[in-house]
Amino acid sequence: MMTRGTTGESESRQNRPFRMVAVAVALLLVLGVLPTSLGPARVEARAATTATSAVADLPAEMIPPDMGQAGIQVFVEATAHTIRGQMLDYWRANGAASVYGNPISEPFAAANGYYSQAFENGVFQYLPDYLYTEDPDVRLMPIGRTALETRGGGFRNDGRREGGGGDRRGSKWRPLDPVGGNTIPRVLSEGGVYVEETSHTISGDFLAWYQNHEGHFYLGNPLSQPMTDRGQTVQWFEGGLLMTGNGGTRLAPLAAELVPQLGIDTEPVEQGDLPVFDEALLVTAANPNPLGDINAPGAKRIEIDISEQTLWAYQGDTLITSTLISTAAEPNHTERGLFHVRYKKEKEDMAGFTDEIR
């Protein structure tokens, strides 16, 4: 459970009558820009043997199905690994290398039985239980605790290392007192949140990043309060480590550091005939009103203002395009709110995409 404080947000487009943000492949969907193929990739990279054999051993239901995601497999030159399907869509939609880093492995079966792929800043896992829900079915492996145990044998609730000895930052690890302490009321009064599950708070730049990147699903709960580490202000979460400084707020490269402990095969693979990744590969229709770089850093989102009958499409903070629109009229009004596009389909009947009809 998350308890929120009040915020004094200034008047902006966020407070206009309607704001809809579709954080997924929304930009491609709304503009009618579809991937070149909706089927499985026809060209496979020659991946490391241990990775492909492990995935082959998974039950069919644990493998991400082809349901409208990008149908091509791409090669990322920076790390010499490939991405396809749902992993490619989620990576692109949520900021790609600027947020989660580049891939450092091919898909593999993790110890917990999930289809997984490691990126520099986190390990993506496909969770089939969420396939027909509004929640993301690709999430981060909870490597935060593994990283802490690797660094110092883990931490007890009193701030001491489990292997003995103390930590001068012990109070940062210790769960907060929800009754008699001063930290929680102060954080809530400043617009922060309190997470009951781990008795820690999230606020400031960390909260802004957390909310803008669906942190509840991807990072999970906080494991500490903000602290100083490696010369930067950091906060530990179940799925990773957030740090903030001159470079802004971003994920630390925990997955890359934990490769030996997690047993991940990071052997580079050959490109073969695969195309090198570029956003332009996924665009098949020209942008009628180009305003910004489609390769700009950050997650994809669209905003629609009913009162202005206008759509804005963003890549992070970069405006890619804007256009006039015509929303629905009563009695079939356009629903207002915050929505996420999890899947992209070339066509669909009026029954829609439901658990009963698939």
Tell me the per-residue pLDDT of 241-288, one tens digit each, with 9 for 90 and over: 999 988 799 999 999 999 998 999 999 999 999 999 999 898 878 888
Give the residue, 167 or 23, on which the prediction is more confident.
Answer: 167
CA nearest neighbour of 136 among 217, 22, 252 = 217
Looking at residue 97, its pLDDT comes to 94
Token pair listed for 143: 């490597």
Q: Please, which pLDDT band fits residue 352 given cuts at 50, 70 and 90?
A: low
Whether pLDDT at 155 is above 70:
no
What percent of the chain stands above pLDDT 90? 49
Instruction: Give the residue-averaged pLDDT of 50-64.
Output: 75
Per-residue model confidence as pLDDT tens digits over 213-222: 999 999 999 9
Q: What is the rounded average pLDDT of the residues 294-312?
A: 92
pLDDT of 63 reads: 92
The model's pTM is 0.76
Q: Which is more confident, 29 or 206? A: 206
Kindly state the percentage of the chain with pLDDT values over 70. 77
